[in-house]
């Protein structure tokens, strides 16, 4: 084993000992109220995230038995985020036609599979078209599914944006007909029909402490600073724009990762959570991975356009649940607050599918600060003069030995 390997091993063992530990290695605890069964579910409260690590790696469930032994309960951390399941539906293009209304594309779905989503791709760029979608069982009687649906493509040296997807109520027809209202012949490159099922997830709506908007005229951009009441997991931002005209603006959403206090105030470091396009044809909802944040910065690039009027900004975050397995009777506590704690790895992580379908919820008691064991103070090594004399004697003996060897060599 090399020296480097030994040092790494020692360091890993040190971190393991410091972070595994017992309750005294954590800063806070809250009693779990209502533990009666083997499995229970706990929804993590918003006020917890200011005191845990950003990766949520320092969450533990400890129990104190009647014999005063400390045990640890395993848990599965679940994020209630949005899940979209796409089922592709096979179809074929039967024909294309044209009349004074525009260009028609007729699709046949051989199976009885329903669809609620069409993703179109055209060889052309820079178009703004309206679409009608109809369905039929026999190509004689047609029923309207979507009318005047807008699709758009913008491509230039600076930007590229396309919105060519159709979402509509679940429809089950043998034939579908797309009418593209255009004087130019659309060159349909491909079309994808899918049946999308969406689990919307569970969100917390967050109140804002302060929203400040300013126009950076030198950079021709709008900057919106959003401060929440506390640090919470953020995964959803919706920007409500008040405009009666079409617009298309690049947008970046960032959060304050850390700050530095100076004589002139605080300097903030930002990290990007997502970027995209603020447009008049979409809902301007931006979703991204949960990120614990308190201060957000939204930057809208106005380019050569006038600034937009922003009515409001909504911020949400997905809810976290702990599904906890209790193997022994004890008084259990949720503990957290340990910067050195590693992410726990439990056996149940590999058997998530075997957790019960119905799990009763439990609640949390009041937060308690865990007392820290005072560190024992040690006397300086050289406080006792005997140590000094002993070291001096050892040095003299070593120097004398080297001198004798040098004389003998001569």
Could you give the percent of the chain with pLDDT greater than 70? 88
Give CA–CA dist 89/144, Å, rounded.
Answer: 20
Least confident of 155-164, 275-284, 298-307, 318-327: 155-164
- Over residues 249-290, the pLDDT tens digits come to 999 999 998 878 777 777 889 999 999 999 999 999 999 999
**Which DSSP state fits 75?**
E
Q: Identify the CA nearest to 165 among candidates 117, 129, 123, 211.
A: 117
Supply the pLDDT for residue 376. Answer: 53
Q: What's the angle, vertex CA 375, arms to CA 369 and CA 378, rounded to 5?
A: 170
Q: Identify the CA nearest to 106 among candidates 114, 149, 98.
A: 98
Give mean pLDDT, residues 25-34. 95
- Over residues 211-238, the pLDDT tens digits come to 999 999 999 999 999 999 999 999 999 9
pTM, two decimals, is 0.79
Supply the pLDDT for residue 378. Answer: 52
Torsion angle, alpha carbons of 178, 114, 236, 358, to 10: 180
As given in the structure block, the two tokens for residue 121 are 């791709």
Q: Identify the CA nearest to 277 among candidates 245, 297, 295, 253.
A: 253
Supply the pLDDT for residue 365. Answer: 95
- Over residues 350-397, the pLDDT tens digits come to 888 788 888 999 999 999 999 876 555 555 555 555 666 677 777 777
Give mean pLDDT, residues 120-133. 95
Q: Identify the CA nearest to 324 among candidates 24, 21, 62.
A: 62
Could you give the percent of the chain with pLDDT greater than 90? 73
- Over residues 36-58, the pLDDT tens digits come to 999 999 999 999 999 999 889 99
Q: Identify the CA nearest to 92 among candidates 176, 187, 185.
A: 176
Confirm if 159 and 250 have CB atoms less than 8 A apart: yes
- Between strands 83-89 and 188-199, the pairing is antiparallel
- Over residues 160-202, the pLDDT tens digits come to 899 999 999 999 999 999 999 999 999 999 999 999 999 889 9
The residue ranking higher by pLDDT, 239 or 340, is 239
Q: Would you tell me how many other CB atoms lie within 10 Å of the CB of residue 377?
A: 5
| Cα–chain center distance at 252 | 16
Q: Would you tell me how many other CB atoms lie within 10 Å of the CB of residue 227?
A: 13
Is pLDDT of 407 > 70? no
Query: Average pLDDT over the chain, rounded to whole?
Result: 88
Supply the pLDDT for residue 394. Answer: 74
The residue ranking higher by pLDDT, 404 or 170, is 170
Supply the pLDDT for residue 243. Answer: 94
Give mean pLDDT, residues 300-316. 95
Is pLDDT of 29 > 80? yes
Q: Would you tell me how many other CB atoms lie within 10 Å of the CB of residue 107?
A: 21
C-alpha count within 13 angstroms, C-beta hemisphere, residue 144:
6
Supply the pLDDT for residue 261. Answer: 76
> Mapping DSSP to helix (H, G, I), strand (E, B) and coil, where does residue 292 land?
strand
Count each helix (H run) and each strand (E run) in the chain, helices first. Answer: 2, 24
Q: Identify the CA nearest to 216 among candidates 294, 160, 298.
A: 298
Supply the pLDDT for residue 404. Answer: 65
Supply the pLDDT for residue 9. Answer: 40
Sheet with 127-136: strands ordered across: 92-99, 102-108, 175-181, 127-136, 143-155, 160-163
Torsion angle, alpha carbons of 193, 194, 200, 205, to 10: -20
Print burial letters for 154-174: b (CB count within 10 Å at least 16), e (below 16): beeeeeeebebebeeeebebb
């Amino acid at each position: 084993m090399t020296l480097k390997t030994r040092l790494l091993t020692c360091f890993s063992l040190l971190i393991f000992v410091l972070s595994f530990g017992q309750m005294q290695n954590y800063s806070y605890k809250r009693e779990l109220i209502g533990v009666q069964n083997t499995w229970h579910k706990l929804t993590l409260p918003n006020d917890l995230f200011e005191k845990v690590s950003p990766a949520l790696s320092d969450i533990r469930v400890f129990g104190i038995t009647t014999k005063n032994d400390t045990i640890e309960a395993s848990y599965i951390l679940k994020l209630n985020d949005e899940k979209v399941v796409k089922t592709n539906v096979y179809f074929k293009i039967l024909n294309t036609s044209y009349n004074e209304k525009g260009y028609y594309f007729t699709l046949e779905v051989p199976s009885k599979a329903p669809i609620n989503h069409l993703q179109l791709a055209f060889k052309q760029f820079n178009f703004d078209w309206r679409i009608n979608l109809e369905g039929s069982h026999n190509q004689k009687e047609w029923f309207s599914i979507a009318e005047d649906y807008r699709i758009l493509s913008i491509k230039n040296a600076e930007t590229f944006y396309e919105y060519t997807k159709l979402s509509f109520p679940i429809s089950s027809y043998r034939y579908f007909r797309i009418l593209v209202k255009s004087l130019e012949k659309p060159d349909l490159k491909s079309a994808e029909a899918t049946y999308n099922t969406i689990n919307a997830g569970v969100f917390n709506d967050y109140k804002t402490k302060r929203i400040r908007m300013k126009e950076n005229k030198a950079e021709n951009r709008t900057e919106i600073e959003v401060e929440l009441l506390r640090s919470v997991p953020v995964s959803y931002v919706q920007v409500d724009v008040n405009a009666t005209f079409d617009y298309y603006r690049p947008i970046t959403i960032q959060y304050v990762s850390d700050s530095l206090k100076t004589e002139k105030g605080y300097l903030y470091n930002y990290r990007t959570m997502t970027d995209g396009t603020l447009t008049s044809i979409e809902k301007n909802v931006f979703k991204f991975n949960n990120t614990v944040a308190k201060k957000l910065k939204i930057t809208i690039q106005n380019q050569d356009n006038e600034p937009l009027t922003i009515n409001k900004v909504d911020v949400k975050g997905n809810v976290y649940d702990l599904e906890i397995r209790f193997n022994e009777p004890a008084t259990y506590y949720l503990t957290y607050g340990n910067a050195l704690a590693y992410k726990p790895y439990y056996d149940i992580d590999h058997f998530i599918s075997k957790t019960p379908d119905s799990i009763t919820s439990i609640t949390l008691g009041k937060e308690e600060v865990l007392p820290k064991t005072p560190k024992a103070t040690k006397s300086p090594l050289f406080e006792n003069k005997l140590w000094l004399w002993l070291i001096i004697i050892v040095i003299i003996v070593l120097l004398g030995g080297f001198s004798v060897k040098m004389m003998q060599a001569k």
